[in-house]
């Protein structure tokens, strides 16, 4: 099987010749020092580009590394038309400070900062710092944004076709973040308080955020069509490592209808499989995601509470594809190669039978992770994952 055939079989709940492997698409970048160490182990020259959101700290593995590890997936960016990124565009504006810290100011006014020497961004200032009112929500997140015709169909489809001609599977992303937009609006803790105290304004933030993404999504899907094999379309971390951020009932009351709206919008414009990204212990809402039409769950954080891979497969494996699973918090940074080999085999035993599993780490591969563990992870999956 080609990589694409293998990937599509797994997405259709058919067992391929081996488990498809992913790296470098949905959040699976790696810390620069890990990448450089892994390149040395593989005997290749490190030439990876910096990650857009994490310059100098995380990188997207280059083609040489992906080939050396047997990776089946490739991320393809939808190509922008010339001169479509301007001062009034919705894309974040970047500012580098003298001390090396980097700010991204979103169209809402929220500022996310990457402190000098750190590896991840954090909310530095929310969009709304005073009283939460309908007027403030509409200022930060306009309810009727002007659609933007920014994506180049010919260039995009040429880029996707080039990857398909190499036999690889393609993932594209245009990501809606309705619930997490409330964090950028007022901060994470306050957003959960406002959900209870002012649910109509909490929902207004989500609805306006969705409208803003719709304004750019029409052009995106017109350009990409159904050419890609999977589209990463929702990223909403409604859970933590130990449980849900909100009750399942509150998810169903406030967030689920918005997720369902996004699924309907995307599936009306593409036949590509629909991926939702949600970290943490989110098993209580898995039936809801299946009900609204989510095809793929990423990153399947099996180290979180209640996310045992055997139970997930037994209860939901006929209805959703699991993508991810290999722990980046404890296992990869602090385990031994033998630990990694054991966990890789356990996840393949749990999730791969009958198809429906894409193998990858459960998120970004962190600093201080031994490159030997990353190599062991993929070598074991490549060998043990064969049917």
What one-character-per-residue DSSP string does 87-143 give?
TTSSSPEEEE-TTS-EEEE-TTS-EEEE-TT-SS-EEEE-S--S---HHHHHHHS-S
For 298-311, what is each residue's pLDDT tens digit?
Answer: 999 999 999 999 99
Q: Is the pTM of this model over 0.85?
A: yes
pLDDT at 322: 99
For 84-114, what is each residue's pLDDT tens digit?
Answer: 666 556 667 889 999 989 898 999 999 999 8
Domain ranges of the chain: 3-91+133-384
Contact 157, 82 (CB under 8 A): no
pLDDT at 50: 59
For 155-193, what is each residue's pLDDT tens digit?
Answer: 999 999 999 999 999 999 999 999 999 999 999 999 999
Residue 361 CA to residue 321 CA, distance in Å, equals 15
Residue 48 CA to residue 62 CA, distance in Å, equals 5
What one-character-per-residue DSSP string does 101-112 give?
-EEEE-TTS-EE
pLDDT at 319: 98
What is the rounded average pLDDT of the residues 132-157? Answer: 95
Question: In the chain, what percentage of residues exceed pLDDT 90?
Answer: 87
Would you state the CATH architecture of domain 3-91+133-384?
A: Alpha-Beta Barrel (3.20)
For 46, counting Cβ atoms within 10 Å of its Cβ (0-12 exposed, 13-18 middle, 19+ buried), the class is middle
For 65-92, what is each residue's pLDDT tens digit?
Answer: 999 999 999 999 999 988 766 655 666 7
CA atoms within 13 A on the CB side of 153: 8
Contact 168, 72 (CB under 8 A): yes
């Amino acid at each position: 099987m080609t990589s694409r055939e293998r990937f599509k079989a797994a997405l259709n709940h058919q067992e391929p010749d081996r488990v498809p492997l992913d790296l470098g698409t949905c959040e699976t970048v790696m810390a620069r020092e890990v990448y450089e160490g892994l390149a040395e182990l593989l005997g290749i020259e490190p030439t990876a580009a910096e990650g857009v959101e994490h310059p100098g700290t995380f990188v997207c593995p280059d083609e040489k590394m992906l080939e050396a590890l047997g990776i089946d997936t490739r991320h393809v960016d939808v190509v922008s038309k010339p001169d479509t990124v301007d001062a009034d565009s919705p894309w974040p504006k970047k500012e580098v400070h003298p001390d090396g810290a980097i700010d991204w100011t979103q169209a809402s006014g929220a500022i996310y900062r990457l402190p000098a020497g750190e590896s991840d961004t954090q909310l530095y200032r929310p969009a709304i710092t005073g009283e939460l009112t309908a007027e403030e929500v509409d200022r930060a997140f306009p309810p009727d944004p002007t659609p933007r015709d920014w994506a180049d169909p010919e260039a995009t489809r040429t880029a996707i076709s080039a990857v398909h001609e190499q036999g690889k599977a393609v993932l594209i992303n245009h990501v809606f973040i309705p619930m997490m937009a409330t964090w950028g609006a007022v901060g994470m803790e306050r957003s959960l308080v406002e959900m209870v105290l002012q649910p109509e304004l909490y929902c207004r933030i989500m609805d306006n955020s969705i409208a803003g993404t719709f304004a750019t999504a029409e052009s995106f899907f017109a350009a990409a069509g159904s050419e890609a094999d999977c589209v990463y379309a929702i990223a909403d971390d409604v859970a933590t490592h130990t449980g849900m951020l909100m009750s399942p009932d509150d998810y169903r009351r406030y967030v689920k209808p918005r997720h369902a709206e996004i699924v309907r919008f995307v599936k009306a414009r593409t036949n590509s499989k629909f991926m939702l990204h949600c970290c943490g212990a989110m098993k209580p809402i898995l039936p809801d995601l299946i009900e609204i039409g989510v095809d793929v769950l990423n990153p399947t954080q099996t180290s979180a509470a209640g996310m045992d891979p055997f139970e997930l497969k037994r209860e939901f494996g006929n209805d959703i594809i699991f993508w991810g699973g290999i722990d980046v918090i404890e296992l990869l940074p602090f385990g031994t190669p033998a630990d990694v080999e054991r966990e890789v085999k356990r996840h393949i035993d749990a999730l791969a039978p009958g198809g429906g599993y894409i193998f990858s780490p459960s998120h970004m591969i962190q600093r201080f992770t031994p490159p030997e563990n990353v190599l062991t992870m993929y070598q074991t999956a490549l060998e043990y994952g064969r049917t």
